[in-house]
Chains A and B, each alone.
Chain A
Amino acid sequence: DAGVIQSPRHEVTEMGQEVTLRCKPISGHNSLFWYRQTMMRGLELLIYFNNNVPIDDSGMPEDRFSAKMPNASFSTLKIQPSEPRDSAVYFCASSFRRRGSGANEKLFFGSGTQLSVL
């Protein structure tokens, strides 16, 4: 398996532009997570999906951020309009949540998208 695939690896854009980050989870996984990593705030959970349905988006910083999961093999995180403070590494992670189990026991992370907003 190729693991969780994120694209692009690096994105440089200007303030005010729309940015779309993409994620392909591991086949067969039913949970998908978007995290943001910065030096100041560490790893922050933005939103997660179970079976393609958004479950908790309380970590999404503002209305400028939106995430979709149209099917089990694809998700996007969109920032519109982007701002310099959005500069960070954005990670997508997937896992298989067993029925009746508690927490997701093993998250598989992609290599991240390094976003720079100038």
Chain B
Amino acid sequence: QQQVKQSPQSLIVQKGGISIINCAYENTAFDYFPWYQQFPGKGPALLIAIRPDVSEKKEGRFTISFNKSAKQFSLHIMDSQPGDSATYFCAASMRNTDKLIFGTGTRLQVFP
């Protein structure tokens, strides 16, 4: 119930392509869904986040799509660049709690 399942584990994309990472959850009490980006040797950093009252949020080349009925959300990276190569984590949190539950991560490699 507390888990967030993330796929794929790794992803290889050509420069200019679209990267798509998917996450699923069971607990309907989750109401905040951020994505974090982590470069080697660094801590994760917040990339973009969404609440379930909207189905999509876009910030530059990064878009979160949210499907409340399916309990799924995904990160789309348009026009992927080599600089986007990193590990991406989805996460979820419940209202009135500070616990952020992370997915297992997706290692993205973008080749020129």
Could you list which residues of chain A lie within 8 angstroms of chain B, going by C-beta atoms?
A: 4, 31, 33, 42-43, 45, 48, 50, 55-56, 91, 93, 97, 102-112
Contact = CB atoms under 8 A, between A and B. Distances in A.
Interface residues of B, number: 25
Contact of B32 (A48, A56, A103): A103
Contacts of B44: 43, 91, 107, 109
B61 interface: no
A72 B34 CA distance: 26
Contacts, number: 65
A85 B93 CA distance: 28
B98 A103 contact: yes
Contacts of B32: 102-103, 105
Given A42-B103, A43-B89, A111-B41, A106 B98 contact: no
